[in-house]
Copies of this chain bind each other. A is one copy, B any other.
Amino acid sequence: MRMMPLLLTLAIGSLTGVTAAQDAPKTVIPETALSTAPALRQTALDSELGFRITESLTTEVGPRLAGSEADARAVAWAKAKFAELGYDRVWTEPVTFPKWERRSESARVVGRNAQPLVLTALGGSPGGTVEAQVVRFDDLAALEAVKPGSLAGKIAFIDQTMERSRDGSGYGIGSRVRSRGPSAAIRAGASAYLMRSAGTDSQRMPHTGITRFDEGLTPIPSAALSLPDADQLSRLLALGQPITVKVALDCGWNGEATSHNVIGEMTGSSLPDEVVLIGGHLDSWDAGTGAIDDASGVGITMAAGKLIGDLKQRPARSIRVIAFANEEQGLHGGYAYAKAHADRISNHLIAAESDFGAGRIYAFDTSAPAHAKAAAAQIAKALAPLGIEYKPGEGGPGPDISPFARDGVAWANLMQDGTDYFDYHHTPNDTLDKIDLEALAQNVAAYAVFAYLAASAEGDFGSAAKAADSED
C-alpha cells in the first residue's frame, strides 16, 4: 500500500459526512440479513479460501510490478480466478500509466572502510552512478532547512526513524521522508539521495516505495538503505572522517503501460444495479512476492465475495470485487475506476479496500452520515464476535477507494492490526510465510459480513456525487 497522507484522509472523511442529505430516511439492516450473518461469519472462519487465493497469486505469478510482464500475467490470473470461483460477471477496465523499471542497484562505501551497502531504488527514481561524500541529517526538517546549493557534489542521507504502531501512523513520517526527501536534496544541490528505509524491522532488507520530484527539479538517483545499513553508515560517519559512497542505480521511467482493473461481480437478488464495492490491489512492488501488499487484500475480498455468492439467498445488491491496477505508483487503478464510474456514484452503496496486510481486523469505521449510523452500528454488532470494535471517527477510505470517496462514495474501513506490517512492507521479505491462515480467515469473515449486510441494507450510506469543485 501507498497510504494517503493523514490530512487528506481526514478531509475526505469529514467532507463525505457533510455531503449526506440531512433528511434522508433512516437506513436499516433487515432482520433476515442479520440472522444470516452468524452462519456466514462461521463459514468464513472455517474456510481457507482467502489464504489459498493469496497463495495462488503469490506463488504462480510472484512479484508483479505495474506494467511488467508479470503484471499482465496477474491480470490473466485474476480473470481466471474470478471465473473459477463462480463470479457471475468478470471483466477488465484499462488503466494507463507511466512505466517505471528497475534493472539493477548497488552501493558501496569506498576507501578505507570499503564495504557494500544494501539499498533499493525508490520507485520513480532515475538511474545514475554517483560517487560522493555523504552528509547525514537526523530528519527531513533538517535537510529542508539547509541552504540551497550547500550540498553541491554531496549525497544527502536522512536517517529518520519510523515508529511501530498498530494503526500504521508511524508511516506518516516514513512516507514523507520518501516522498519529500529527494526534492529537498535536489534543492540543497545534492547529487543523490539516501534515506533510512521507512520500516520498523531490523532485517537487512531495504523498503522501496514510490517517490516524486517537485515540478521544475531535475531528478537525482534516490534510494533507501536497509535499517542495519543506515545504522552502519551513521556509525561510519560518527568516526569523524569523510565517508564516500558509490551509488549505482539502473532504473527509470520508460514510456507508458496499460494494465487493467480486474472486476468480478456476484449479482444481487433485487437491486443488481447497485453495488457494494470491496477489493485490494493486484500490482506489487518487485522485491517480494507482494503477499501482504496486497495479494492478501485480493484474497480476502475475492473469498468474501465468493462466500456471499454461495449463500442460498443473495443480498439485494451486487457484490463487486476489484483487483485494482497499479496502486503502488499513484493509485492509478483507483483514479481510473473513479473516472470511469463518475456517473454511477450513488449506485455504489459503500466501498472498502483491504490494503494494510494480513493482520487481524480490530476496528470498524465508516463515513456513514447520521441517517445511516444505526445501520453502521448494526454491522458493527455483527462484526463484534470477530473481536472487532466499532470506532467511529478513526478510519478513512483505503487508497484505491480514496479518489472515488473524494467524489462522494461512502466508505467503510475494516482496520487491520499493522503492528508488524512495516517490518515487511515493500521489501523482499513480503512473502506468503508472513501470513497467518487464521488471521486471514478472520479478515474474510469480516469482509463477508460487512459486504453482505451493507448489500442487504434498506436505505443508503450517503454515497452522492460531490459538487464539481471537488476535483481529483
Contacts and interface: CB of A to CB of B under 8 A. Distances in A.
Interface of A: 55, 59-63, 69-70, 73, 109, 112-116, 118, 202-205, 227-228, 231-232, 235-236, 239, 288-289, 427-429, 431-434
A70 to B, nearest CB: 7
A431 B62 CA distance: 29
Nearest to A431: B228
A429 B203 contact: yes
A232 B289 contact: yes
A228 B432 contact: yes
Given A70-B114, A232-B431, A428-B118, A204 B288 contact: yes
Contacts of A59: 113, 232, 235-236, 239
Contact of A202 (B228, B232, B288, B434): B434
How often does this chain occur in the complex, in copies? 2
B113 A61 contact: yes
A251 to B, nearest CB: 15
Contacts of A116: 62-63
Nearest to A428: B204
A243 B239 CA distance: 50
A234 to B, nearest CB: 10
Question: Which of the listed residues A55, A112, A228 has the most CB atoms from chain B within 10 Å of its own CB?
Answer: A228
Contacts of A427: 204
A428 B226 CA distance: 11
Given A204-B429, A204-B431, 8 more contacts: A55-B235, A63-B115, A70-B114, A115-B289, A118-B428, A202-B434, A205-B205, A231-B432
A115 B431 contact: no
B70 A202 contact: no
Nearest to A201: B203
Contacts of A114: 62, 69-70, 73
Contacts of A203: 203, 205, 429
Contacts of A432: 228, 231-232, 235
A231 B433 contact: yes
A70 B433 contact: no
A232 B288 CA distance: 12
Q: Which 8 A-B pairs have the closest CB atoms?
A: A62-B115, A228-B431, A204-B428, A59-B235, A202-B433, A204-B429, A228-B433, A60-B113
Nearest to A228: B431
